[in-house]
Every structure is written in C-alpha cells, then in structure tokens.
Amino acid sequence: MPRKIDVRHGGLAVAVFLATIGVLFIGQASLLDLGNFGLPGPGFFPLVLAVLVLVFSIFIGIERWRIASNGETVEVGHRDVLIVIGAGLLVPLTFEWLGAYLSLGLFGAIVLVLIARVSPLLAIMASGAGMVTCWYFFQELLGIQLPMGPF
C-alpha cells in the first residue's frame, strides 16, 4: 500500500499543508480571547502553537526547496501513520460526547495496542495514568475544566 514519491516534492507538499493548517488555526485562535501574559485566555496557547506550526513549515519548505531533486524517494501511506491519523480524527469527534479524558485515553490505548503492540491491559493502565496526569495538569495546575462527558 505505501507509495513512493520524490523527497523534494513530498517535503514541499508537507510544508504547504502544514502552513495552511497553521494559517487556519491562527485565524481561529485569534477569534478567541487571548488574555494577557499573567493570565492567558483560551486562545493564547492555540495561537502560539499555530504560529510555531507556520514557522516550522516555512523552515521545512525552504529546506526542501533548496535541495536538488536527485531521484531519492520516500514511501507514503504506512499502516502506522494511517492508524495514528484515524485515531487522531476520533479525538475531536468524541471530545464532547465522551469527554476529554476518555477521548484522549482511547486515543492512547488505540495507538499503544495497534502501533506499539502493547497488551490491551497495559495499554489501558498507561492510558489511565495519562488521563490522570492530563486531569491534574488542566484541572489542578491550570484551573481549566475540560468536558467531562457522560460520567
């Protein structure tokens, strides 16, 4: 299933894709309250991350543009990458419905079982620890209430 493409063109395509995502996220984050330096608002961190994605995509594009196309190819469409993309797309779809912690825990468990080939019991335990850590960071340290879902 993997398909071979030229390294230079593939890198440029990734840079353009990431730059587009960065610009879209900058636009969306700027619609939210940014707060101030002492008390960042809900749009602050998404804006910072979007700007970083845009800046890094520009660096990738410049680097890929500068290299000569020597016929080197890279394979695209690996099973593991498709699993991460598919599981990652489940997170925003289930974030409100299941709640933030269960959505992120489910993502972690899927990735651990299907990619890292960890036993399901160990994956559930590790995802549980990740959910507790996530809850502590957002709820206790930042004071942010994430969606709890039905539980």
Provide the whole-model pTM.
Answer: 0.64
Cβ-based burial of 114 (10 A; exposed 0-12, middle 13-18, buried ≥19): middle
- pLDDT score for 150: 80
- pLDDT score for 1: 66
Structure tokens at 19: 């730059």
- pLDDT score for 131: 93
Count of beta carbons in the 10 Å neighbourhood of residue 131: 19
**Distance of alpha carbon 54 from alpha carbon 25, whole angstroms:** 9
Specify which residues 6 forms β-bridges with: 73
pLDDT by position in tens, the chain (length 151): 678 888 888 889 999 999 999 999 999 999 998 888 778 888 888 999 999 999 999 999 999 888 777 777 777 778 888 899 999 999 999 998 999 999 999 999 999 999 999 999 999 999 999 999 999 988 888 888 888 888 6
- pLDDT score for 144: 84
**Distance of alpha carbon 102 from alpha carbon 83, whole angstroms:** 18
**Distance of alpha carbon 150 from alpha carbon 96, whole angstroms:** 9
The rounded Cα 148 to chain-centroid distance in angstroms is 21
Say which amino acid occupies 44. F
- pLDDT score for 67: 79
